[in-house]
Every structure is written in C-alpha cells, then in structure tokens.
Structure 1
Amino acid sequence: MTLPDEYVCDLCGCLFLSPVEKDVFCPNCGSSQVKKEIGCNELSDEDVYVEILQDAEKSNLFW
C-alpha cells in the first residue's frame, strides 16, 4: 500500500490527498489547476527536523 500524494489547488488553495496521478481535480471547487505539493516518497519538513534533532542528540552523547 502506498500513501497518496498531497496536492494544492491554485484556484481556491484547498490542500488534499489524491491516490491518482493523472487528471487530478480539486474536491472543493472542481478545478484542474492543481499541483503536487509533496509526493509519497518525499520527506516532509517535520521528518527532516526530527532527524536533525536525533543527530544532534547523538553528537551530544559523544562529547
């Protein structure tokens, strides 16, 4: 099972998930002017931040 990609509508600003990759339409306004915000295989900012904190904690233990 794969996670759906996150899309944002350029017309109304709605943020939504969509499992399809072709012919994606906004569920709020029906617009086809949507763009992929983040893919299922990309890291979010939170994931990167948590990894940075974990690395910092490891380096503090070695001092």
Structure 2
Amino acid sequence: MTKYIYCGFYQKTYPFDAIMEGIFAFSTKTPEELLYNKGKLFNNGDNWEAKISTNTQADYLHQ
C-alpha cells in the first residue's frame, strides 16, 4: 500500500467504490504489515467512508 493508490486518480476515474486511503503518514514494524487483503481493504473503507465522502464533496465544489 505504499505505491499507486494515494494519487487520487482512481477517485476521479471511478468515483464510486474506488480504493482510497486517507491522507496520513504511517510506519510499520514489518513489510508484511503493508500487505492488504480484501478483508483489510473493506475494513479500511468502512473506517474512512464518511471522511472520504466529505473530502470528495469538498473537492467537487472546487472543480
């Protein structure tokens, strides 16, 4: 999860159900912690859904 998804292009191309992450810095103790499976992606999406929706609306108003 350290490459490719953070650019936001997915959100513009596929605005619904896009793989998105919040804007944050992170560190892990092992490289394996950076690997995401489907369940981890779904949980992450559930945790960030409201914040991403708010950010999307704010970005839309400025486009």
TM-score tier (shorter): under 0.3
The answer to which structure has the higher strand fraction is 1
Identify, as 1 or 2, the structure richer in helix: 2
TM-score, L = length of structure 1: 0.25
When normalised by structure 2's length, the TM-score is: 0.25
